[in-house]
Amino acid sequence: MSQVVHLPGLSQLELVSFVEELSEPGFRGRQIFAALHHRRVRSLDQMTDLPRDLRAKLNECATASTLTVESRYVSEDGTRRYLMKTHDNLPVETVFIPEERRDTICFSSQSGCPLQCSFCLTAQLGLLRSLTAGEIVEQIIIALNDAYAAGLKTPRGTNLVGMGAGEPLLAFESLLKALRIMADPKGLHIVPNRVTVSTAGIVPRIRELATLSDRPHLAVSLAAPTDELRSLLMPINQKWPLAELLSACKDFEQSLKQGERFTFEYVLLDGVNDEDE
């Protein structure tokens, strides 16, 4: 699989360059991008606007999909939960949440997680690996296709939350590339203003996000008011304690533009972090 190009992880410009390296005209790359991200096609053979010989050539060196849906659960309120598997058989969790005015898709950035937060079931897996940009994008495509079928325009806006398995800011480059691919007007066109990423507090990446213009909204998970308790619940606090984390948060706050949101999350654990004190 390492020798096969995962097309959903390429930007429109990268797809143009890719097909030109195959001695094909650049506009074919734009066609492939539109098929993958605007029509949400997951098979090269279904890209019938491409010549048959080009599809055959692409099938030898590229793929339009690598994730498979292992199981799918639909709740009474319409929420859809997916367990997907990567090409190397690692678990990926995704949730589609329909609401009256919008849909929200909760995506994973890693398979497993290295942070070992005591209240998180994913922590028991440890980190299996970070997901690629293409694997992040594919989760969104699979969820939208399951809800609305491939090629059909979604009836309302789509919001994304990076609150699935893994720590998004430890998959930073893949995350940002995926969000930039999905923001393309010729594709899914889910702009950063519709995306919120949750972090346990990766201080250097929070500071880096503060310098970027095309960034998602940020949510920081606190879960405790003191270093002693937070280090117990979230071991990452031993590396970046509350004073350092809140200093980075203040820098991020100062960089906020109109319309941007910056929030804190607090998981209430009975008798642990919710006392009057």
Percent of the chain whose predicted confidence (pLDDT) is above 90? 85
- What pLDDT sits at residue 154? 87
Confidence at 151, pLDDT banded by 50, 70, 90: confident
CA distances from 106 to 79, 157, 162, 166, 234 (A): 11, 14, 6, 12, 21
What integer is the mean pLDDT of 172-185? Answer: 97
**Cβ atoms 233, 272 nearer than 8 A:** yes
Please report the beta strands in 40-194, taking only residues with DSSP state E, as ranges in sequence order: 62-63, 68-74, 80-85, 91-98, 102-106, 110-112, 127-130, 157-162
DSSP 199-237: ES--HHHHHHHTT-SS--EEEEE---SSHHHHHHH-GGG
- What pLDDT sits at residue 119? 84
pLDDT digits (tens, 9 = 90+) for 1-16: 448 999 999 999 999 9
CA distance 215 to 195: 9
Q: pTM for the full model?
A: 0.94
DSSP-assigned letter for residue 275:
S
What integer is the mean pLDDT of 29-34? Answer: 97
Q: Is the pLDDT of residue 152 over 90?
A: no
- What pLDDT sits at residue 1? 42
Q: Which of 40-44, 116-120, 209-213, 261-265 has the lowest mean pLDDT?
A: 116-120
What's the whole-number average pLDDT of the chain? 94
CA distance 163 to 161: 6
